[in-house]
Amino acid sequence: MRKGFQNIQSNENNNYKIIAVDDEEGIIDSLSIFLNRSGYQFTGVTNPQEAIERVKSEHFDLMVLDFIMTPIHGDQVVSEIRKFNKELYILLLTGHKDLAPPLETIRRLDIQGYCEKSDKFDQLLLLIESGIKSIAQMNEIKQINEELKSTYEKLETSYLESIETLRYTVEAKDTYTKGHSDRVSEIAVLIGNKVGLPDEDLKTLKIGGLFHDIGKIGVPDTILQKDSKLTDDEYSEIKNHPSIGAHILSTATIFKDIIPIVKHHHEKYDGTGYPGKLKGTDIPYLARITTIADSFDAMSSRRTYREALPLDKIISEFEKWKGIQFDPELTDIFIDILKNHFEEIKLIQEKYK
């Protein structure tokens, strides 16, 4: 019965690759016999520089490493390996416990364990078996995480497709906003790039811009398509769309980062906007960027009651409302874009006519 168990264990061990590094060939030969007998895939190296290159080019699960070697010691080998491989499980061998590196060095280099050299390898085998169990557990956790990531990405895609359908429905209800969300999205990202936002924020700006008006799905068609001036009651209905949009998106956690954009893109810097009457820097930063992009597209688009405003008029409007409706610093940056980089905006407008 014991022999059968050992065969099973040996077959499992064969899935793991171990590299041993020691400048004494006798130690490598002994480890080779010992570890091959235990079923591991074994590689022995006497040159520490070669070991570094082997780890660069091949996958190993565990390294058994001598500390005192020439031309470089084991801690230097680990230091080099940790520059490109943070996951390799490393056990350090020392000729004597007094020759072991300081505990601070072992922690800093993420060395998982060490033991003294001996004619018997019982202690080393226990450390290796413990290391392999840890590696197996980590591999299982990685696999679970990959499966969860795949499931999450599929769910995210499904949600995005559903909301995208709603977005197109909104555009179908209000023909004068055709392409509006796409333009707002790309102009917001253009501003985000100018202020040096990280990629994650640029992604949030992009998606937030696409869905910032999603709440108009809850506004009656008669109001969205009205040619004449809105009554106070009708305007109140329109003002509900940011809150409606935030509510629609709140059912899925994948949209949590864009909800502040959707909910607050009609806030004003002086606190007179809606729905929260937020003021100044209390307005989420990405929402402040989207407000500028949204307002620009509204001014530069033709409506039934007016033609698109010329560029000089748009610039004067932003200058007039700087610090009142719009974040003053962001407004200065956007005015610079309008004056000196308008061809980038023209490309966006041509793309989504």
DSSP for 241-309, written as a single string: HHHHHHHHHTTSGGGTTTHHHHHHTT--TTS--SSS---GGGS-HHHHHHHHHHHHHHHHS-BTTBPPP
In CATH, the architecture of 2-135 is: 3-Layer(aba) Sandwich (3.40)
Q: Where are the domains of the chain?
A: 2-135, 165-351
Whether pTM exceeds 0.85: no
Whether pLDDT at 3 is above 50: no
Q: What is the mean pLDDT of the chain?
A: 87
How far is residue 261 CA from its own chain's centroid? 19
Whether pLDDT at 102 is above 90: no
- Close Cβ partners of 202 (under 8 Å, ≥ 6 residues apart): 189, 192, 193
Q: Tell me the C-alpha distance between 208 and 265, whole Å.
A: 10
Whether pLDDT at 10 is above 70: no
Residue 109 pLDDT: 83
165-351 maps to CATH 1.10.3210.10: yes
Bridge partners of 114, per DSSP, are: 92
**pLDDT, tens digit, 9 for 90 and up, residues 290-340:** 999 999 999 998 877 778 999 999 999 999 999 999 999 999 999 999 999
